[in-house]
Amino acid sequence: METFDPTELPELLKLYYRRLFPYSQYYRWLNYGGVIKNYFQHREFSFTLKDDIYIRYQSFNNQSDLEKEMQKMNPYKIDIGAVYSHRPNQHNTVKLGAFQAQEKELVFDIDMTDYDDVRRCCSSADICPKCWTLMTMAIRIIDRALKEDFGFKHRLWVYSGRRGVHCWVCDESVRKLSSAVRSGIVEYLSLIKGGQDVKKKVHLSEKIHPFIRKSINIIKKYFEEYALVNQDILKNKESWDKILALVPETIHDELQQGFQKSQNSLQRWEHLKKVASRCQNNIKNDKYGPWLEWEIMLQYCFPRLDINVSKGINHLLKSPFSVHPKTGRISVPIDLQKVDQFDPFTVPTISFICRELDAISTNEEEKENEAESDVKHRTRDYKKTSLAPYVKVFEHFLENLDKSRKGELLKKSDLQKDF
């Protein structure tokens, strides 16, 4: 996909918000079937404009209001906040303490920069296909737990547009959760403990929780190719010293000797597994637990969540279909059926889809009378670009939300009939 020129962004955003942004699907999502009065009207949006001008507490009456404002402001970034007790745009008129965040989706934010101590290919904002596997594993591990361990049905995964992924859990009961419960959930999903100074960040006890076992099973599918081939985590002395820091000193010498004789990371890993299992069998009083290799696998591959984003109900998170101002990539939904095939480098940039639209418009103008209304035009416009398959993923997610809402309403009406 072509390079993106940030100086073109203001003009591109005008076209994007006028003709390509999927407003009706977006409104359908955040309105949640209009079941709760004023739900959409009490939602906070925040816009970041050119030159980092930041406007919080925006709120809108309806889809048309939202469209007008977005087309007027052409935000560089859109964030979504909580549903409040009052309209956020009137928060200054509410008496102190009365304006409260009441509901929000449970959200997760996973950012590649949090893996810098275990990535060898890139650092800070850079990503490449070699390290993107970390995001694939993160989605698989967290999504499995949200679905199977917690029973959450409506999980929207979204690419951030640059170096990470977000998840929005949208079940009705989940949106009502308190901050304390959210903290509990994110705590359950967190294993990596300790900041930059802490070398060993994973400590397994003798009793391994099923969540950890299931996460290990997911990591095993990717570990050899990701860690031993692509990241080459035992390539040389410098990289294997990092791993020695995670295992008991009593086996350092034996590991070092074997590492020096081995040709590559794959052979060194096999040697480590042999030494670890022998050491575990020899020790009756098992201080380390028979989990040395698992601890290493988890430290190098387990998801690293930004806990604060998930805990706070009033925390803002970047909106799906927002544009990343540095890369120009659209923040698109990820198809959970095709997580392994998702490639951030093929996600369309705003310049690419605007060019696609221009090419099509030029052709059509020659064929078609221009009397056609702008609205009719726009409802079809994104479908003519590379954004279409991603909007389809979003629509599929919305259909499931609708179905489940109708099911709940039927259940309620049946219960009322029984009385």
Among 79, 103, 105, 111, the active-site one is 111
77-84 vs 43-49, strand pairing mode: antiparallel
Tell me if residue 139 falls in helix, strand or coil.
helix
User: What is the dihedral sign for C-alpha 263, 264, 267, 270?
Assistant: positive
Let me know if 44 is a catalytic residue: yes
* Contacts of residue 48, Cβ cutoff 8 Å, sequence gap at least 6: 54, 55, 75, 76, 77, 78, 79
Query: Any idea what DSSP says for residue 329?
Result: B
> Taking each helix axis from N to C terminus, what angle separates 23-31 and 388-418, rounded to the nearest 10 degrees?
30
Let me know if 111 is a catalytic residue: yes
Contact, 143 vs 335, CB < 8 A? Answer: no
* Contacts of residue 206, Cβ cutoff 8 Å, sequence gap at least 6: 286, 289
- Alpha-carbon distance of 111 to 113, in angstroms, equals 6
Which of 63, 64, 18, 27 lies closest to 357 in space, CA to CA?
Answer: 18
Let me know if 109 is a catalytic residue: yes
**Which secondary structure element, helix H or strand E, spans residue 241, and what is its range?**
helix 237-244
Token digits of residue 250: 């009593």
Among 67, 103, 105, 109, the active-site one is 109
- Alpha-carbon distance of 256 to 272, in angstroms, equals 10
- Which positions are annotated as active-site residues? 44, 109, 111
